[in-house]
Structure 1
Amino acid sequence: MIVGIDLGTTNSLISVWENGAARLIPNQLGDVLTPSCVSVDEDGTILVGRAARDRLQTHPAQSAAAFKRHMGSDKKITLGKRAFRAEELSALILRALKEDAEAALGQPVTEAIITVPAYFSDAQRKATRAAGQLAGLKVDRLLNEPTAAALAYGIHLRDSESRFLVFDLGGGTFDVSVLDLFENVMEVRASAGDNFLGGEDFVTALVDRFFEHNKLNKNYRENAHFMQRLGAQVELAKRELSTSPRALIRVTEGSDNFSMELDEPTFETLCAPLLARLRHPVERALRDANLVGAQLDNIVLAGGATRMPVVRRMVARMFGRFPACDINPDEVVALGAAVQAGLKSKDAALDEVVMTDVSPYSLGVEIAMHYESGGHSSGHFDPVIERNTVVPVSRVKTYSPIHDQQSVIEINVYQGEARMVADNIKLGTLSVPVPPGTRDDRSVEVRFTYDVNGLLQVEASARKGAESAVLIIEGNPGMMSPQEIKERLASLSQLKIHPRDRIEMRTLLARGERLYQQLRGSVRDQLSVEMTRFEGNLETQDKRIIDAAAKRFVEVLDYVEHQHAGNPFGDADL
């Protein structure tokens, strides 16, 4: 069974192509969105999803979110007494999704199509594959998120030729791709993006404004509990502005009560620098595709952050028309992954479609430039594969040593668009031995091969002489080696994962703990009584009692959240 997975910064989803259609698979709570959050409970048990998201506010030192941004790096995220890599935390999300799918489908899930931002680097893509491996999945293909969104819109089924742009703004990343459809061929003309621009950055802009408005000092920024609560309230206000003209942000800390009213014009002004950053990749993609906005047949929105009216207005102003948003932007990428899974399994309900993609960035090596007057200048970038070259692709260039006496040529591999390598991203280094002789006799051929999954291999070999070497970059700085993956897999298998059949109850308790910390007065005391009563019912292990208690507890939590979340000092009875 092949499934499609949207491994997102904020939320993740799993889908399947079934009975001639893409279908999202709900998690154990009945939601198709699983928050990309992980938390370690007091007894060392791992919690994933909504329960972990609620614990971000109550137990920030034991909880983590938005770790997708650290994929492909060696950054460690500490939860309690244990440190995790981003790949490991992502693997825990993938494992939970896999279990949900197996429960819904009644059969093992072994293979997956996982979507990644089009602008993900080679290191980030390999880290995503590693996360899938750690979760017990064979990652059949990595599919770029804008391409997945295009598939979900069924553009590949249209009879007429079509040219469109996918604007994909998620929680932590931004991608834009220009695509052409003709005669059952979906061709990506150009891609661009920003791996550090997403909905989280709009939240950060509002948090900064909240600090200025309330004249808060840096001690509050160092208070993890306060920052998590503030971030949650800002996120709620940001979403409220999608349907209301204004929203109120209110947070308490001890006896202090801080608030800030927000309206759409103020929000747009605060986010102006971020909106400007969104324009640059769009302009670059159109420029690389040799197109102007008027030549596009449609603009497709993907990613939950495109719900923000400020973003939709900006897109409408850029193109002089309203974008297409027929499908829920939170779900469109996962649905597209399911279409790709159906294509992979050659489902009869899908016509064969040829998809071409591009390298979203230039890949090359560091070289030295010789001066006409003698001497040389090092640190220059020489692209071997230019950005937006159709993939798969293999390109070769020949390089010579700087000095006649050199016995080894070091080839530093970079990704980026800057003229100097200092401003690009280093991917790795190859050391190639060269035979004796003059500089011109000892040239080295360097071959870059970039596949449809966005994975890069670099080979280098001496052209002359008895001795030659062929080296392949299999990892990047910060990447796990095969041995490390094996060790981490063994370590993860020893973790206690909260039982799937009890996660609903643990999620209710986590929600109660979050609300308890937000409240004061008699409402807080009464909520404590209700939580203790519910915990007592859980101890009975009687399903009939537990189900009835859970139903009542949900009603209590809904009442508290709707009636008192904005007024933590309320004293009305439950």
Structure 2
Amino acid sequence: MGGAHGHAVGVDFGTSTSLVATRAGRRPVEIAPLGRTTRWFPSLAGYRGETLLVGEDADALPSDQVIRSIKRAITDNQETVSLPGPGGLQTVSADDVMIALLAEIGERAARAGEPLTADREFRLGCPAMWDGPQRQRLLDLAAKAGLPVDDSALVDEPIAAGIAWVTHRFLAHGERPEGRLLVFDMGGGTLDIAVLDVVGGAHPEISVLTALGTAYAGDALDHAIARDLLEGLGARGVDLEALRHPELLRALVLRAARDAKVSLSRLPEHRIVLPSRQIGHMPVLTYSREQLEEAFREQMDNAEQLVWAALRAAQLTERGSRSPSELRAMGPAELSGDIDYVLLAGGMSRIPYVERRIGALFPNAQVFDNAGVQPDEAIVAGLADTASYERLNLHRPGFDFVVEWEEGGQVRQEILYAAYTPFYEPWQVLTGQSNLGYERRDRAFPGPQQGIGRLRVRATSGEPLGLKFDGQVMDGLRLNFGHKMIFKLYCDGRILIQHGSGSRIQMRVDRWPVIRGRDHAQLVLRSAEESAPTPPTPWYMEKEWAPPIR
């Protein structure tokens, strides 16, 4: 499984395009040629009659019949998408479309000589903002498509991009970067930001301080440009509603907006010529880079606010972290001062305006848009890394905390904390709360009102995990039920458990480890009052997910 001499394969199932990459040991990463004329595969689908087409075949359909950005169905928790049909709009299963796309990715990877099989470490990217059910949905779809996934396969996309950068700096330049890295990953469907503590080298140590995102990225800019183009057509005398097929014109304009966005990354102006064969003669428009930046301005203003939110969130994960009121008082200069490096990833990072705006926020940091591959390939390159996941630590648990008790002679379980659930909502940093974290108390605490139970830890696949608390190995922590139950996870790794009697246990984890689905082990905790962590046993340090000794 992975390791410095292993073989890993990564799949970036993107909103607009998808990629597959492999790496063997410390050799350079290889991007598999998935497209017919490109390394990437278009994440497009559509129906011709009853036949579901994907990729380039779907792109050849009339523009208003193409299913684009289907991955957003997971982000938006949608089960179906709509398409024009002979009798009007028809709904199709979003899951069926994604399964077909993922299966085609697997088939094309095999034809390219890189079969997606279980004999290599397999990783699949996902947005940082996704919760546990959204992540599980993608895993289930990938399994139905024949991909060799397990519950440890998913990696947050901005974290993967950061790993690609850390590895590239060492392999290509012999550098051992040490400090704080901010990853700004703007793709088609989401904007994801991660803040990582890194110590580079042959065996890098990476701790995630925060990773968050928003469903507001490249697609939003496409629609903003399309609105400008429709206004331009209206100013030239085109009455959209008087047309025989207004939806077709809207679809063609949206496609032209995407082309303009790409072209204006290189050129100052772009001419828009709509296909007259489909909708009749339309005026030729010219769209400039200045117009694009104006259309993009509000979105980038919001992106900057997400950057500051990520930096405040990173502060919360530190030992002795500042209170929300202190974080609110921190200005941009103080927040940005902790960042040593900035990595721009995702297809939207090709737009010069992005680098100009984000680079200006960090005048004292080194800004990179190169992780050894193109910005839109950074995620898949990181997913295929063979070494940097050995000592990766997260900022929140990737496993469930459950309450277990006996009732009527049967064992019952209820989830107390679901894997990947955010500890707090971003807006809560702006409130007067003093201790942010995830909390269940009183009536919201599952289980009976009296009796004995256990707090247990389990993988997202349902398999139980062990615990080691202050050197004692156990399969769960004893709970004395009552009316005053409290469970709280703090951002800095503290855990509070209050029994029904009012007595408390306070524990700490230095960083949440990545629990490997195929090799479950223990979650190591210690009393919060201890001044130094209990040294891990040699057995513990042999595990791939073992955190670095600090």
Q: CA separation of 1:449/1:293 partners in 2, compared to 1, >3 Å: closer, same or farther? A: farther
User: Residue 238 in 1 paired to residue 242 in 2?
Assistant: no
- The letter of the residue matching 1:262 is Y
User: Residue 323 in 1 paired to residue 367 in 2?
Assistant: yes
In structure 1, the gaps of 5 or more residues are: 344-350, 359-388, 399-408, 421-429, 436-440, 466-574
Aligned equivalent of 2:44: 37
SS of 2:342's equivalent in the other structure is strand
SS of 2:376's equivalent in the other structure is coil
Query: How far apart are residue 192 of structure 1 and its match?
Result: 2.0
Contact 2:123 2:149 in 1 (8 A): yes
Query: How far apart are residue 10 of structure 1 and its match?
Result: 0.3
Q: Which deviates further from its counterpart, 22-31 or 131-140?
A: 22-31
Contact 2:99 2:144 in 1 (8 A): yes
Contact 1:88 1:134 in 2 (8 A): no
Q: CA separation of 1:283/1:107 partners in 2, compared to 1, >3 Å: closer, same or farther? A: closer
User: Residue 10 in 1 paired to residue 16 in 2?
Assistant: yes
Aligned equivalent of 1:148: 160
Alignment of 1:488-527 (within 5 A): none
In structure 2, which of residues 46, 55, 60 is the aligned counterpart of residue 49 of structure 1? 55
Alignment of 1:137-536 (within 5 A): 137-140=147-150, 141-155=153-167, 157=170, 158-182=175-199, 184-194=204-214, 196-215=215-234, 216-218=239-241, 223-251=246-274, 252=276, 254-290=279-315, 292-320=335-363, 323-326=367-370, 327-339=373-385, 342-343=386-387, 353-358=390-395, 389=396, 391-392=397-398, 417=425, 442=450, 464=481
Q: CA separation of 1:24/1:154 partners in 2, compared to 1, >3 Å: closer, same or farther? A: same
Q: CA separation of 1:433/1:248 partners in 2, compared to 1, >3 Å: closer, same or farther? A: closer
Aligned equivalent of 1:67: 70
User: Residue 90 in 1 paired to residue 127 in 2?
Assistant: no
- Alpha-carbon distance in 2 for matches of 1:77, 1:225: 17
- Alpha-carbon distance in 2 for matches of 1:456, 1:273: 46
SS of 2:393's equivalent in the other structure is strand
- The letter of the residue matching 2:290 is P
Structure (1 or 2) with the greater helix fraction: 1
- Alpha-carbon distance in 1 for matches of 2:265, 2:375: 14
- The letter of the residue matching 1:146 is P
SS of 2:188's equivalent in the other structure is coil
Query: CA RMSD, aligned part only?
Result: 4.0
- Alpha-carbon distance in 2 for matches of 1:411, 1:218: 53
Contact 1:152 1:335 in 2 (8 A): yes
SS of 1:71's equivalent in the other structure is helix
Q: TM-score under structure 2 normalisation?
A: 0.63
SS of 1:323's equivalent in the other structure is strand
Contact 1:163 1:296 in 2 (8 A): yes
1:365-414 CA deviation, whole Å, 9 max, x = no partner?
xxxxxxxxxxxxxxxxxxxxxxxx4x34666899xxxxxxxxxx999998
Q: CA separation of 1:254/1:108 partners in 2, compared to 1, >3 Å: closer, same or farther? A: closer
Q: Tell which structure's C-alpha radius of gyration is larger.
A: 1
- The letter of the residue matching 1:334 is V
- Alpha-carbon distance in 2 for matches of 1:230, 1:206: 9
Query: How far apart are residue 114 of structure 1 and its match?
Result: 0.5
Aligned equivalent of 1:374: none
The size of the alignment, in residue pairs, is: 394
- Alpha-carbon distance in 2 for matches of 1:2, 1:316: 32
Query: How far apart are residue 36 of structure 1 and its match?
Result: 0.4
Q: CA separation of 1:18/1:203 partners in 2, compared to 1, >3 Å: closer, same or farther? A: same
In structure 2, the gaps of 5 or more residues are: 1-6, 316-333, 405-413, 432-442, 466-475, 483-550
- The letter of the residue matching 2:81 is I
Query: How far apart are residue 34 of structure 1 and its match?
Result: 0.3
Q: TM-score under structure 1 normalisation?
A: 0.60
Aligned equivalent of 2:535: none
